Copies of this chain bind each other. A is one copy, B any other.
Amino acid sequence: MRNRATPAKGTTGHTQRGQCAKRLSILEAAADVFCRQGFAGASIDEIAAEACVSRQTIYNHYREKETLFVAVVDDVINRANAMLFSVLSSFPERADNLEGDLTAFSFRLSKNCVCNHDGKFLRKLVQTEGEHYPHLFESFRQQGPGKLTNALSALLARLSQSGALVIDDFDVAARQFVALGNADLQLLTLFGATPTDEQLESAARNAVRTFLRAYGRPALTEPPQLTVIGV
């Protein structure tokens, strides 16, 4: 009642910032350990050590191991979805410089959604624990890869209205665009390696080149072979 410089948030200012930092530290460490060891193999003590936090603090914030796991997955899914949305919004709207724009988009998709920390985490955890926690990953299933191909399908449809693309089935084309983007990276990511930017760029180039050979308007993709004669 006396002096209220920060009426509502004042009382919980610094304390909550500390709490918040602890929570984040725990989430981060737990994601790492769960990703490395799986749910069964991860021990609370290991997470506590990696988060530089006492075991009791973890139990204070997240009642039990499973609650913590759910919170971690939820957190990563939210971050990954936000990133996916952001990358999708950068899909080219016009068809001038189609190959360059699509290549850059494929590169961003691989780097920020597929091969990044969260993407690796989700791929691994869905494989490891997907059957034990189907409800937990369902939102990922629908909003992650499912949303990606749906959104991409619509974006390809809009883009092909200009006539630069000749696509009969947009859903199939969307899935193939993603698949081609991963074609060169599959072997690298299989064992958890993180591709370099050069590898990501090369993969994106190869993917888009083939995608446009298949779906690009013939007049735009074929001529190089013919005009070369004149050189």
Which A residues lie at the B interface, using CB under 8 A? 36-41, 123-124, 126-128, 130-131, 134, 137, 141, 145-146, 149, 169, 172-173, 175-176, 178-180, 182-184, 186-187, 190-192, 206-207, 210-211, 213-215, 218, 222
Contacts and interface: CB of A to CB of B under 8 A. Distances in A.
A123 B189 CA distance: 12
Nearest to A206: B172
Given A124-B128, A141-B187, 9 more contacts: A128-B128, A130-B191, A130-B192, A131-B191, A131-B192, A149-B187, A175-B186, A179-B186, A218-B222
A31 to B, nearest CB: 15
A176 B187 contact: no
Interface residues of chain A: helix, strand, loop or mixed (majority)? helix
A97 to B, nearest CB: 20
Q: How many copies does the complex hold?
A: 2
Contact of A179 (B37, B169, B179): B179
B191 A126 contact: yes
19 contacts: A36-B131, A38-B41, A40-B40, A123-B127, A124-B127, A126-B191, A130-B191, A137-B191, A146-B187, A175-B184, A175-B187, A176-B206, A176-B210, A179-B179, A179-B180, A179-B183, A211-B214, A213-B213, A218-B222
Contacts of A41: 38-41
B191 A183 contact: no
Nearest to A210: B214
Contacts of A192: 130-131
